[in-house]
Each structure stands twice: as C-alpha cells, then as structure tokens.
Structure 1
C-alpha cells in the first residue's frame, strides 16, 4: 500500500495511472453537439471512491474534487448506464484470468448479510439478527469475487432473496452450474427453481457436535467477501435511500479492489 500511495495524487483511494488505463476507454464519449464537456471523469471516479472508502457525505467531499452536485450528478448518470457494473465485471474476468482460471466461473457460493439502513425508503426487521434495515443477498465465486448482489428489506428470507440471485446468475454468468449454501437455503421453492434453471445446490451444514467457531469449507469464502465490503466505510451501514444507489456503491467498492489487484499484482 505504501508503494501504491506514492503513485496517487492526494489520497490512497485515488486511481493510479495504471488503474485508470484499465477502464478509461469505457467512459462515455462526448457528444457531437452542444458545448464541450468540461468534467474530468477520472476526478469523478476519484471522488466517488473517496466517498465510499472514507464514509463521508456528499456535501463533505473535499472541494478540489469539484462541486459535489456535479460529482453526484455524474455518479447517478454512470450508475444509470450500468457503467460501474461493466467495470466490475470486466475487472473480475481479468482477475480470474490473471489467477490462471477461466474468465467465467462454474461454481458460486451464496449467502446474505443484514445491515442497518437508517435512511432507506423501504426497510424491514430481521428477527434473527435483530436488525432494522436491508439485507444483502450475494453470490461469489470460489475465490470470493462478487458475482451478483440483490438488495431487499431485511425481513425477506434468505431463500426468497436468493431466487433473484439465481435468475441473475443464469443471465450474466451462464457457465455457473454448482452452488454452495448454508442450511437456510434448503427450502423447497428455492430448490425447485434451482433445478428448473439447471443448478446443483450443495448445502454445507455445521456438524451436530461442533462447539464454538469452526471454518467450514466454501462457507468462509463468502464471509471474507463481506469483510472486504465493510472495509469500505460507506458500506458498514446502508446509508442510501434508494436501492439502485446502494447497489452502485457496492460495485464501486468491489470493483475498486479488483482493479487495484490487476494493476498492482
């Protein structure tokens, strides 16, 4: 990190030249009509990464990033164009190839995490975790890279939230065939849908005589991914009112991890 920090302009969250070169061609091209575009997309991405990494508010962005209204406006526009999703997925495939794997995974691990969401437009109560907020249903590959995320109120069960995950995986990652999950996903409706979509779901259960904490095969991978998320302080809680904004914040964080890993192996 010290070597990378020397390459950034101001903050550790700033993009280095090597990181920016990875996805600069994906940024929107200026229109042929109208006045020339004045915004610097690299500074917009730097500002968004600073916000997600530090956990500050939009109005508290350092002034040298430019007016916060401009940064927020372009953040919403880029999210509307699914650019953060594209950047994340491209970085994921490059990272898998760098690790000697196929670009598209064939197995995934699913799990969920309930987080407090004080400003959410719709939220629910997770009686098991005793949390009022939202639930993050995610699928990761066997190395912990995020494949899919589905955000719901916290009162939605794991198996119900996972049904949208199955639909999304089948469309975006068609080679995935095998899913690992815990006992909360052993439900008839979910298993029927998995069979219909040609998935094999393997339930990883705790041993009956287990005492205390024990690392379970495959299950620890998705828990580590949740740990990676919460290192970005904006994701410790869900501060967003809109679900699409919260979804984009997660992609910024997880895509940022992959981009840095690819640029500075």
Structure 2
C-alpha cells in the first residue's frame, strides 16, 4: 500500500534529496575498502513516511536491508542538519509564490492527541482519564495551509499558548495591513484581546455560551487542518518522547499537506505541456 501517491512522492523526494549532503556509499577510511555499504537515503525516507502515515514501530518496518537502528540514526542525522525544517520552509515558500498565502485571516486552535509513551511535551490529558497526552497549538492561513505550531502537554490550556504560536508569524516578513485572528470560545477573555491588540491584530473570537454553528466563522479551516494532521497516525498517537523528533514529523506532514494543496490548485490555475488530464 503506497504511503503517498507517485505524483506527490516524486517532487517531495526530489526536493528532499537536494537538501541532503553528499555521502560516499562505502566508508573510504576503511582499511580494506570493504566496509558495509551505506543504506540508500531514498529507502530511509520511505521508511520514515511509513512511520508517519501508519504510526508503526521502527522494528515493524525494519528488514534485512535496513535495521530499526539505522532508521533512527539517519532520522536524527537529518534532524540535526535541519533537513525537515528546510523542506517545510521551501514547500511553503513555493506555495506562496505559485498560489499565494492568504495571511489576512489566520486561525489558531489547540488539538489534544494521545502520547502513551510520555515525553518532553506530554502531560495528563483532561479528556482521556488523566492518561498521557500532547497538545498542539496550530496556526493556519485562510485556506488551511499549516503555518506552524507549538507543542505542549495535554494539561495546558489553549489561551496561554497563543502568544508563542503567534510569534511564529515573524518568519513570514511583512504581514498585510489588517490581519484577523479567528479563535474559538476557549480564547474568549480580556487577556487574549489585549494580547492581539498589542500586536496590532484584529480579533474574531467566539463568545462563551453561544452555539458553535451560529458563530462558526472561518475557524473551520484550522479544524480541517487538524483532521489532516490526525490522518498521520504518528501524530494522532505519538510514541516519540523527544520534542525535536515530534517537530520533525510535523514538518514532514506539513510539507506533504502543503505540496498536495499546491499541486491540486496549480492544476486549476495553470497549464503546462505534461499537465494531467484529471485533477490529482
């Protein structure tokens, strides 16, 4: 069963491979020149996609050609080099140049998922009988393209995470003159309004006590993006314990979501010689 379709896998791997440093297939320092060949980067990348998509253990996808230790070591090597973060930034920049990010309307919301193994960003979940859980404060633009996120324990409230989440907007350079932040009733407080006013951001916050369908507004984009993230089982039920590893998987998932939206929207907006006859 393919993790991602070929029309998505090919450009994703091409860009990822371009970010990897050159490595000899066999260690040249070996005295006999017969050191065990290095496992291909493409194979490791596909294994990590399987972990992300299906949520399986590293030992479950290891085989005679690639051990679980090799997968973890290569993953950590790429994280140290910042490859996943660069991939996400490049895909997001490409989307902005071809389609365009709509930063006039931004949505932020928290989402609680399971973290059975605990870890650096885990805490007692208030919605899962006190079991270990993780919260992500996600920020998306008007079409639901994920911009960034902040990870915390499931016992953290959404509102205190808003400031650190909005800090992620700094990397996007000059923002539109009027930016509206759409929030649910969990952020309905004077503290939140003062925070947004101090950043020259307009607030569109649902009122506590009012029914959600009446005041849904444009928050549904972030809810849909949360569903996109939860389609990756490694993010929905996270066994990773280190924050930087979880962030790397989120960056990879964000790159997939953004690239998928880019290809589908480009099919409608542009024409080229080998353009598919059907929308992907």
Q: Would the aligned equivalents of 2:186 and 2:208 in 1 still touch at CA under 8 Å?
A: no
Q: Would the aligned equivalents of 1:137 and 1:149 in 2 still touch at CA under 8 Å?
A: yes
Q: Give the count of matched residue pairs.
A: 250
Q: Would the aligned equivalents of 1:44 and 1:71 in 2 still touch at CA under 8 Å?
A: yes
CA distance in 2: counterparts of 1:181 and 1:116, whole angstroms: 23
Pairing 1:11–2:2 present: yes
Pairing 1:234–2:227 present: no
**What is the match of residue 192 of structure 1?**
194
**What is the match of residue 142 of structure 1?**
142
CA distance in 2: counterparts of 1:65 and 1:252, whole angstroms: 24
CA gap 1:55/1:263 in 2 versus in 1, 3 angstroms? same
Give, in angstroms, the shift of residue 49 of structure 1: 0.6
CA gap 1:247/1:215 in 2 versus in 1, 3 angstroms? farther
SS at match of 1:135: strand
Q: Would the aligned equivalents of 1:158 and 1:184 in 2 still touch at CA under 8 Å?
A: yes
CA gap 1:182/1:21 in 2 versus in 1, 3 angstroms? same
TM-score normalised per structure 2: 0.76
From 201, 204, 214, the equivalent of 2:203 is 201
SS at match of 1:63: coil
**What is the match of residue 125 of structure 1?**
124
Moved more, 186-195 or 175-184: 186-195
TM-score normalised per structure 1: 0.80
**What is the match of residue 26 of structure 1?**
19
**What is the match of residue 3 of structure 1?**
none
Q: What per-residue deviation string (whole Å, max 9, x for no partner) do you get for residues 97-134 of structure 1?
A: 443x25x7343110001112111125323436755311
Give, in angstroms, the shift of residue 178 of structure 1: 2.8
Moved more, 243-252 or 50-59: 243-252
CA gap 1:121/1:207 in 2 versus in 1, 3 angstroms? closer
Task: Kindly name which structure, 1 or 2, has the bigger radius of gyration based on alpha carbons.
Answer: 2
**What is the match of residue 115 of structure 1?**
113
Q: What per-residue deviation string (whole Å, max 9, x for no partner) do you get for residues 167-197 of structure 1?
A: 2222455526331111222334443333333
CA gap 1:140/1:248 in 2 versus in 1, 3 angstroms? same
SS at match of 2:182: strand
CA gap 1:63/1:121 in 2 versus in 1, 3 angstroms? same
SS at match of 2:107: strand
CA distance in 2: counterparts of 1:129 and 1:187, whole angstroms: 26
CA distance in 2: counterparts of 1:240 and 1:64, whole angstroms: 24
Give, in angstroms, the shift of residue 260 of structure 1: 4.0
Pairing 1:181–2:188 present: no
> Gapped runs of 5+ residues in structure 2?
30-36, 268-280
Q: Would the aligned equivalents of 1:146 and 1:225 in 2 still touch at CA under 8 Å?
A: yes
